[in-house]
Amino acid sequence: MSKAIAAFGEDRAHREIVGALIARVAKELGLSVQVDWRNARRGHGKVVSEVQEYFRDLSAQGSRCDLIVVATDANCKGLNERAQEIPAHSSPVATVLAIPDPHVERWLLLDGEAFKKVLGKGCDAPDQKCDRGRYKQALIRAILNGGVEPEFGGIEWAQAIIDAMNLPRAAGADHSLKRFLDDLRKALQAVPSDRDP
């Protein structure tokens, strides 16, 4: 039986990158998942309010999913401070936070070898600076260096790059990615095999 995941994210980048990571981890665990993106635009504040409303609905109406994933950038606030802004403790269902620090595009730049496999040329290891747009621009430059014109800021390559990634090595280079992957694996493994109808 497929595991039902309700996912929330700030924008298309979260949907594509976090969605690809969910698919990769589920495949490695031999699990089938179905991700229903409930929100994937309009920023952090909208994600938090949509998640709070969803938690209230779940509490009142009963569970319609096995797991919830909430994706939002740390945006220079730091991983722990951003995590405290999301009311995961009030969720009636296991909830995993994907909080890239500082921005989700950085996660795609963590494995130069994966980049080379997919785009023909590796990318430089990203620094970790809090600068709005820095990693979006770095991703675009890295894809252009591979001789490809990105159509959607490079996000369209997320699935292929993540499929080629050495996830343990990438997670070792980024604490926020490691935290998400560890929490996701643990949560997916804890979901019962058979849900009651």
The whole-number mean pLDDT for each consecutive block of 10 residues of the chain, a chain of 197 residues, reads 92 95 97 88 82 88 88 90 89 94 95 95 89 91 93 94 97 97 97 60
Q: Max Cα separation, the chain?
A: 52
For residues 105 and 10, what is the distance between their CA atoms, to the nearest angstrom?
Answer: 13
Amino acid identity, position 22 = I
What is the CB neighbour count within 10 angstroms for residue 193? 7
Are 187 and 67 within 8 A, CB to CB?
yes
- Reduce the DSSP state of residue 27 to 3 states and report it: helix
In order of start, what are the domains of the chain with their CATH numbers? 3-190 (3.40.50)
Which residues have C-beta within 8 Å of that of residue 109, sequence separation ≥ 6? 115, 123, 124, 125, 126, 135, 138, 139, 142
pLDDT, residue 196, reads: 41
Are 121 and 146 within 8 A, CB to CB?
yes
Are 29 and 58 within 8 A, CB to CB?
no
What region, left, alpha or beta, does residue 18 occupy, with left being phi > 0 and alpha being psi -120 to 50 degrees? alpha
Phi, psi at 99, each rounded to 5°: -125, 85
How far lies 66's CA from each of 54, 97, 131, 197, in Å?
A: 14, 15, 36, 12
What is the CB neighbour count within 10 angstroms for residue 159? 17
What is the CB neighbour count within 10 angstroms for residue 120? 11
pTM of the model: 0.93
